[in-house]
Structure 1
Amino acid sequence: MVTAIADPVRRHILTMLRDEPLSAGDIARRFVISRPAISRHLRVLRESGLVRDELVGRQRIYHLDPGPLAPLVGWLAGLAGTDRWERHLDALETEVYRTRRERRSRGPAGHRREHTA
């Protein structure tokens, strides 16, 4: 699958299919390369499981299937430390709320409010 997304043309095809299913002809019209070259790219994407096709009349309509990308997305997130940053940001958010709560309880100019009964 990594080989399938290594090519910029195939990545662009995946991006187009993210927005809507397209026929091979519609995809080919958006590129300056030959239609047979687009067909080869679509075959690689289909064999990798990233796209699926259905025959509608005489046209093949291609659909994105992002399922096979899930393990790669998870691996990249771990590599980039996304989980670690989310934990740090959650801790920062908690600290900001705690600080705001303490400031409100002290009142204006940092003085403690007197509670009278």
Structure 2
Amino acid sequence: MQENFFETGGGGDPLWGQHIMWLLGYPETWAYIGMWVLVIVGVVSFGRFLSKQGRAVLALALYLAFAALVAIYIWLFMQTRLALVEGDLSWARTMGLANSSLFLAAIASLGWLIFGRRQRDQTR
């Protein structure tokens, strides 16, 4: 195992260390990671529930819609980042709306994971 991953003398790249510390050093990063994990777990759980109900096509449509929304979110994030680097604040409001939508989706997923258990237990 290579122990000098961030040292240039050992063939590593010191920028990786800076990027990792920059990414993991902000609490907002952990909040977004937590929200995305919550939404993904909620979508997968709801999709499995639909599949067990005999609605596999609807579950597939849910998964495809979720993948499309993730792609749109990533595209919005990249456009906002590029605009902010250039000093343009026009995309900031759009990204704020996308983040609010992500927060609402995380709350809905949490609700499904907590209160949907009753429905899942009743259908067994």
The answer to whether the superposition gives a TM-score over 0.5 is: no
Q: TM-score, normalised by structure 1?
A: 0.30
Q: Which has the higher contact order (CA 8 A, sep 6+)?
A: 2
Q: TM-score, normalised by structure 2?
A: 0.29
More helix by share: 2
More strand by share: 1
Q: Which has the larger radius of gyration?
A: 1
